[in-house]
Amino acid sequence: KILEGDVLCTITTDKSTIEWESQENGFLRKILIKDGEKALVNQEIAIISHSLDENVVLCKTDKKQRVVASPLAKKIAKDNDIDLSLIVGSGPRGRIVSKDLQLTEFHQISTISYEEELTHIRKIIGNKLLYSKQNIPHYYVTQEVIATKMVDLHNQLKEMRVNITFNDLIIRAVSLALREHRSINSGFNSKNNKIIRFKTIDISIAVSTSDGIITPIIFNADCKNIIQISKEVRELAKKGKENTLLPEQYQGGSFTISNLGMFGVESFNSIINSPQGSALAVGVISEKPIVVNGVISLGSVMHLTLSSDHRVIDGVDSAKFLSTIKKFLENPSFLIL
Protein backbone atom coordinates (compact mmCIF):
# COMPACT_ATOMS: atom_id res chain seq x y z
CA LYS A 1 0.00 0.00 0.00
CA ILE A 2 1.22 3.50 -0.80
CA LEU A 3 0.08 6.94 0.27
CA GLU A 4 0.11 10.24 -1.58
CA GLY A 5 3.55 11.83 -1.16
CA ASP A 6 5.40 8.56 -0.65
CA VAL A 7 8.70 8.46 -2.54
CA LEU A 8 8.44 5.63 -5.08
CA CYS A 9 11.80 5.97 -6.76
CA THR A 10 14.73 8.22 -7.59
CA ILE A 11 15.14 9.28 -11.23
CA THR A 12 18.50 10.42 -12.56
CA THR A 13 18.64 12.45 -15.78
CA ASP A 14 21.63 13.99 -17.56
CA LYS A 15 20.94 17.19 -15.60
CA SER A 16 19.81 16.21 -12.10
CA THR A 17 18.49 13.54 -9.73
CA ILE A 18 14.93 13.86 -8.42
CA GLU A 19 12.68 11.82 -6.13
CA TRP A 20 9.40 10.64 -7.61
CA GLU A 21 6.42 10.94 -5.25
CA SER A 22 3.18 9.03 -5.46
CA GLN A 23 0.40 11.27 -6.76
CA GLU A 24 -2.38 9.52 -4.79
CA ASN A 25 -3.25 6.69 -2.43
CA GLY A 26 -3.36 3.16 -3.81
CA PHE A 27 -1.55 -0.10 -4.22
CA LEU A 28 1.74 -0.68 -6.02
CA ARG A 29 0.98 -3.79 -8.09
CA LYS A 30 4.06 -4.21 -10.27
CA ILE A 31 7.46 -2.59 -10.89
CA LEU A 32 8.13 -2.42 -14.66
CA ILE A 33 11.57 -0.74 -14.65
CA LYS A 34 14.08 -2.31 -12.29
CA ASP A 35 16.68 -0.45 -10.25
CA GLY A 36 19.49 0.82 -12.47
CA GLU A 37 17.62 0.34 -15.75
CA LYS A 38 16.93 3.09 -18.30
CA ALA A 39 13.44 4.41 -19.10
CA LEU A 40 12.21 6.50 -22.00
CA VAL A 41 10.13 9.64 -21.52
CA ASN A 42 6.45 8.66 -21.10
CA GLN A 43 7.39 5.00 -20.58
CA GLU A 44 5.42 3.22 -17.84
CA ILE A 45 7.60 2.46 -14.83
CA ALA A 46 5.03 0.84 -12.52
CA ILE A 47 1.42 -0.30 -12.24
CA ILE A 48 -0.69 1.22 -9.47
CA SER A 49 -4.33 0.53 -8.72
CA HIS A 50 -6.91 2.18 -6.48
CA SER A 51 -7.97 -1.20 -5.14
CA LEU A 52 -6.49 -4.68 -5.02
CA ASP A 53 -8.75 -5.96 -7.81
CA GLU A 54 -8.05 -3.15 -10.31
CA ASN A 55 -5.09 -2.74 -12.63
CA VAL A 56 -4.60 0.82 -13.95
CA VAL A 57 -1.41 2.46 -15.19
CA LEU A 58 -1.18 5.65 -13.17
CA CYS A 59 2.52 6.24 -12.66
CA LYS A 60 4.11 7.69 -15.82
CA THR A 61 6.65 10.44 -16.45
CA ASP A 62 4.20 12.83 -18.10
CA LYS A 63 2.84 16.35 -17.59
CA LYS A 64 0.10 15.16 -15.21
CA GLN A 65 2.52 14.92 -12.32
CA ARG A 66 1.78 17.12 -9.34
CA VAL A 67 4.21 20.02 -8.95
CA VAL A 68 5.52 20.44 -5.41
CA ALA A 69 6.42 24.06 -4.66
CA SER A 70 6.55 26.44 -1.73
CA PRO A 71 3.77 29.05 -1.41
CA LEU A 72 6.23 31.85 -2.25
CA ALA A 73 7.46 29.98 -5.33
CA LYS A 74 3.86 29.48 -6.48
CA LYS A 75 3.14 33.21 -6.07
CA ILE A 76 6.28 34.20 -8.02
CA ALA A 77 5.34 31.75 -10.76
CA LYS A 78 1.80 33.10 -10.98
CA ASP A 79 2.92 36.74 -11.08
CA ASN A 80 5.48 36.05 -13.82
CA ASP A 81 3.50 33.52 -15.86
CA ILE A 82 6.00 30.70 -15.23
CA ASP A 83 5.11 27.05 -15.87
CA LEU A 84 6.33 25.27 -12.73
CA SER A 85 6.29 21.90 -14.50
CA LEU A 86 9.35 23.07 -16.45
CA ILE A 87 11.36 23.85 -13.30
CA VAL A 88 13.61 21.40 -11.43
CA GLY A 89 13.33 22.07 -7.72
CA SER A 90 16.33 22.24 -5.41
CA GLY A 91 14.41 21.76 -2.17
CA PRO A 92 13.70 18.55 -0.27
CA ARG A 93 12.22 15.82 -2.49
CA GLY A 94 12.52 18.10 -5.51
CA ARG A 95 10.37 20.83 -3.97
CA ILE A 96 10.51 24.10 -5.94
CA VAL A 97 11.56 27.03 -3.78
CA SER A 98 11.78 30.74 -4.51
CA LYS A 99 15.49 30.71 -5.38
CA ASP A 100 14.73 28.30 -8.23
CA LEU A 101 12.68 31.07 -9.85
CA GLN A 102 15.20 33.90 -9.73
CA LEU A 103 14.69 35.57 -13.12
CA THR A 104 17.55 36.69 -15.28
CA GLU A 105 17.36 40.08 -16.94
CA PHE A 106 15.95 38.29 -19.97
CA HIS A 107 13.34 36.41 -17.89
CA GLN A 108 14.57 33.13 -19.30
CA ILE A 109 13.99 30.19 -16.99
CA SER A 110 14.57 27.12 -19.16
CA THR A 111 14.99 26.01 -22.72
CA ILE A 112 12.14 24.08 -24.29
CA SER A 113 12.97 21.74 -27.14
CA TYR A 114 11.81 18.64 -28.93
CA GLU A 115 13.38 16.03 -31.16
CA GLU A 116 12.37 14.78 -34.59
CA GLU A 117 13.47 11.80 -36.64
CA LEU A 118 15.80 12.33 -39.57
CA THR A 119 14.16 11.78 -42.95
CA HIS A 120 15.62 9.03 -45.12
CA ILE A 121 17.23 11.61 -47.42
CA ARG A 122 18.76 13.54 -44.49
CA LYS A 123 20.25 10.32 -43.11
CA ILE A 124 21.89 9.58 -46.45
CA ILE A 125 23.12 13.16 -46.87
CA GLY A 126 24.38 13.33 -43.29
CA ASN A 127 26.32 10.08 -43.51
CA LYS A 128 27.83 10.98 -46.88
CA LEU A 129 28.92 14.49 -45.87
CA LEU A 130 30.24 13.30 -42.51
CA TYR A 131 32.40 10.74 -44.30
CA SER A 132 33.55 13.39 -46.79
CA LYS A 133 34.52 15.95 -44.14
CA GLN A 134 36.29 13.39 -41.98
CA ASN A 135 38.18 11.55 -44.71
CA ILE A 136 38.90 14.02 -47.53
CA PRO A 137 41.80 16.48 -47.04
CA HIS A 138 39.92 19.62 -48.06
CA TYR A 139 41.65 22.85 -49.00
CA TYR A 140 40.07 26.06 -50.28
CA VAL A 141 40.96 28.64 -52.93
CA THR A 142 38.94 31.86 -53.37
CA GLN A 143 38.76 34.04 -56.48
CA GLU A 144 37.14 37.47 -56.84
CA VAL A 145 35.26 38.02 -60.10
CA ILE A 146 34.29 41.40 -61.52
CA ALA A 147 30.73 40.56 -62.53
CA THR A 148 29.72 43.92 -64.03
CA LYS A 149 29.59 42.65 -67.63
CA MET A 150 27.73 39.53 -66.52
CA VAL A 151 25.11 41.67 -64.78
CA ASP A 152 24.78 43.84 -67.89
CA LEU A 153 24.31 40.76 -70.09
CA HIS A 154 21.73 39.32 -67.71
CA ASN A 155 19.76 42.58 -67.76
CA GLN A 156 19.89 42.76 -71.57
CA LEU A 157 18.61 39.20 -71.92
CA LYS A 158 15.90 39.92 -69.36
CA GLU A 159 14.72 42.92 -71.40
CA MET A 160 14.48 40.59 -74.40
CA ARG A 161 12.46 38.14 -72.22
CA VAL A 162 15.19 35.52 -72.33
CA ASN A 163 15.04 33.83 -68.94
CA ILE A 164 18.71 33.11 -68.18
CA THR A 165 19.84 33.19 -64.54
CA PHE A 166 23.26 34.03 -63.13
CA ASN A 167 23.50 30.41 -62.05
CA ASP A 168 23.00 29.27 -65.65
CA LEU A 169 25.90 31.46 -66.75
CA ILE A 170 28.08 30.09 -63.95
CA ILE A 171 27.28 26.49 -64.88
CA ARG A 172 28.17 27.22 -68.50
CA ALA A 173 31.44 28.89 -67.48
CA VAL A 174 32.39 26.02 -65.16
CA SER A 175 31.64 23.39 -67.83
CA LEU A 176 33.87 25.16 -70.36
CA ALA A 177 36.63 25.63 -67.76
CA LEU A 178 36.49 21.92 -66.87
CA ARG A 179 37.03 21.13 -70.55
CA GLU A 180 40.31 23.09 -70.40
CA HIS A 181 41.37 21.72 -66.99
CA ARG A 182 40.63 17.99 -67.12
CA SER A 183 42.55 17.35 -63.89
CA ILE A 184 39.79 19.16 -61.96
CA ASN A 185 37.19 16.83 -63.46
CA SER A 186 38.47 14.03 -61.24
CA GLY A 187 37.66 12.11 -58.09
CA PHE A 188 39.10 9.62 -55.64
CA ASN A 189 38.25 5.96 -55.05
CA SER A 190 38.81 5.44 -51.33
CA LYS A 191 38.38 1.66 -51.63
CA ASN A 192 41.46 1.11 -53.79
CA ASN A 193 43.21 4.48 -53.28
CA LYS A 194 43.13 5.38 -56.96
CA ILE A 195 42.35 8.65 -58.74
CA ILE A 196 39.20 8.67 -60.87
CA ARG A 197 39.40 10.52 -64.18
CA PHE A 198 35.87 11.28 -65.34
CA LYS A 199 35.50 11.09 -69.12
CA THR A 200 32.39 13.32 -69.24
CA ILE A 201 31.66 16.67 -67.60
CA ASP A 202 28.57 16.03 -65.47
CA ILE A 203 27.79 18.91 -63.12
CA SER A 204 25.82 18.34 -59.92
CA ILE A 205 23.72 21.32 -58.83
CA ALA A 206 22.90 21.65 -55.12
CA VAL A 207 19.13 22.15 -54.69
CA SER A 208 17.47 22.77 -51.33
CA THR A 209 14.33 20.72 -50.57
CA SER A 210 12.16 20.25 -47.49
CA ASP A 211 14.04 17.01 -46.78
CA GLY A 212 17.52 18.42 -47.29
CA ILE A 213 19.98 19.11 -50.09
CA ILE A 214 19.85 17.04 -53.26
CA THR A 215 22.18 17.33 -56.26
CA PRO A 216 20.53 16.72 -59.65
CA ILE A 217 23.01 16.44 -62.52
CA ILE A 218 23.47 18.27 -65.82
CA PHE A 219 25.07 15.48 -67.86
CA ASN A 220 27.55 16.42 -70.61
CA ALA A 221 27.19 20.06 -69.57
CA ASP A 222 30.01 21.26 -71.79
CA CYS A 223 28.13 20.02 -74.86
CA LYS A 224 25.01 22.07 -74.08
CA ASN A 225 24.36 25.72 -74.85
CA ILE A 226 23.13 28.23 -72.29
CA ILE A 227 19.45 27.79 -73.28
CA GLN A 228 19.62 24.01 -72.89
CA ILE A 229 21.37 24.33 -69.53
CA SER A 230 18.82 26.86 -68.26
CA LYS A 231 15.85 24.71 -69.26
CA GLU A 232 17.34 21.55 -67.76
CA VAL A 233 18.25 23.26 -64.48
CA ARG A 234 14.68 24.54 -64.02
CA GLU A 235 13.19 21.12 -64.75
CA LEU A 236 15.56 19.30 -62.40
CA ALA A 237 15.12 21.87 -59.61
CA LYS A 238 11.34 21.53 -59.89
CA LYS A 239 11.52 17.74 -59.67
CA GLY A 240 13.94 18.02 -56.77
CA LYS A 241 11.57 20.19 -54.74
CA GLU A 242 8.68 17.83 -55.60
CA ASN A 243 10.78 14.76 -54.64
CA THR A 244 10.15 13.21 -58.06
CA LEU A 245 13.76 12.88 -59.26
CA LEU A 246 14.80 9.44 -60.46
CA PRO A 247 17.96 7.99 -58.86
CA GLU A 248 19.87 8.25 -62.13
CA GLN A 249 19.13 11.99 -62.20
CA TYR A 250 21.01 12.74 -58.95
CA GLN A 251 23.44 9.86 -58.42
CA GLY A 252 26.91 10.41 -59.85
CA GLY A 253 28.33 13.60 -61.33
CA SER A 254 31.93 14.74 -61.70
CA PHE A 255 31.78 18.25 -60.16
CA THR A 256 29.38 20.11 -57.84
CA ILE A 257 28.22 23.75 -57.78
CA SER A 258 26.51 25.20 -54.70
CA ASN A 259 25.12 28.75 -54.94
CA LEU A 260 23.98 30.68 -51.86
CA GLY A 261 24.29 34.06 -53.53
CA MET A 262 20.52 34.46 -53.77
CA PHE A 263 20.45 34.45 -49.95
CA GLY A 264 22.98 37.26 -49.65
CA VAL A 265 25.89 35.01 -48.59
CA GLU A 266 29.17 36.65 -49.61
CA SER A 267 31.32 33.50 -49.51
CA PHE A 268 31.39 30.03 -47.96
CA ASN A 269 33.16 26.67 -48.21
CA SER A 270 31.44 23.64 -49.72
CA ILE A 271 31.95 20.08 -48.53
CA ILE A 272 33.18 17.90 -51.40
CA ASN A 273 30.57 15.52 -52.81
CA SER A 274 32.52 12.24 -52.63
CA PRO A 275 33.84 10.58 -54.77
CA GLN A 276 34.18 13.85 -56.69
CA GLY A 277 37.41 15.77 -56.21
CA SER A 278 36.14 19.34 -55.93
CA ALA A 279 33.13 21.61 -55.44
CA LEU A 280 32.49 25.28 -56.18
CA ALA A 281 30.77 27.63 -53.73
CA VAL A 282 29.20 30.74 -55.30
CA GLY A 283 28.53 33.90 -53.31
CA VAL A 284 26.29 36.92 -53.85
CA ILE A 285 26.88 39.54 -56.55
CA SER A 286 27.20 42.86 -54.77
CA GLU A 287 28.13 46.42 -55.74
CA LYS A 288 31.52 47.62 -54.49
CA PRO A 289 34.22 50.11 -55.44
CA ILE A 290 36.60 48.46 -57.93
CA VAL A 291 39.76 49.56 -59.70
CA VAL A 292 39.84 49.16 -63.49
CA ASN A 293 42.91 50.45 -65.37
CA GLY A 294 43.85 52.59 -62.37
CA VAL A 295 40.40 54.20 -62.11
CA ILE A 296 38.09 53.65 -59.12
CA SER A 297 34.46 53.05 -60.03
CA LEU A 298 31.39 51.24 -58.72
CA GLY A 299 31.07 47.70 -60.04
CA SER A 300 29.59 44.26 -59.36
CA VAL A 301 31.77 41.75 -57.51
CA MET A 302 31.30 38.04 -56.81
CA HIS A 303 33.42 35.56 -54.85
CA LEU A 304 33.98 31.95 -55.89
CA THR A 305 35.52 29.42 -53.49
CA LEU A 306 36.77 26.07 -54.76
CA SER A 307 37.00 23.16 -52.31
CA SER A 308 39.45 20.51 -53.53
CA ASP A 309 40.71 17.10 -52.47
CA HIS A 310 44.47 17.46 -52.02
CA ARG A 311 44.99 13.78 -52.84
CA VAL A 312 43.73 14.49 -56.37
CA ILE A 313 44.17 18.18 -57.18
CA ASP A 314 47.14 20.46 -56.48
CA GLY A 315 46.68 24.05 -55.38
CA VAL A 316 48.22 25.46 -58.57
CA ASP A 317 45.70 23.55 -60.69
CA SER A 318 42.83 24.90 -58.59
CA ALA A 319 44.11 28.44 -59.00
CA LYS A 320 44.42 28.06 -62.78
CA PHE A 321 40.93 26.59 -63.01
CA LEU A 322 39.41 29.49 -61.06
CA SER A 323 41.27 31.96 -63.28
CA THR A 324 39.67 30.38 -66.35
CA ILE A 325 36.20 30.62 -64.79
CA LYS A 326 36.95 34.26 -64.00
CA LYS A 327 37.94 34.86 -67.63
CA PHE A 328 34.62 33.47 -68.91
CA LEU A 329 32.45 35.29 -66.37
CA GLU A 330 34.19 38.62 -66.94
CA ASN A 331 33.71 38.14 -70.69
CA PRO A 332 30.24 36.53 -70.67
CA SER A 333 29.56 36.91 -74.41
CA PHE A 334 31.57 33.68 -74.87
CA LEU A 335 29.00 31.87 -72.72
CA ILE A 336 26.07 32.45 -75.09
CA LEU A 337 27.89 31.41 -78.27
Q: Which of 50, 154, 303, 310 is catalytic?
A: 310
181 catalytic per annotation: no
d(CA 109, CA 104): 8
Burial 212-244 (b: 16+ CB within 10 A, else e): bebbbbbbebbebebeebbebbeebbebbeeee
At residue 335, the 3 state secondary structure works out as helix
User: For 213, which DSSP code?
Assistant: E
d(CA 59, CA 77): 26
Q: Is the dihedral of CA 76, 82, 83, 85 positive or negative?
A: negative
Q: Is the dihedral of CA 170, 175, 179, 181 positive or negative?
A: positive
Catalytic residues: 310
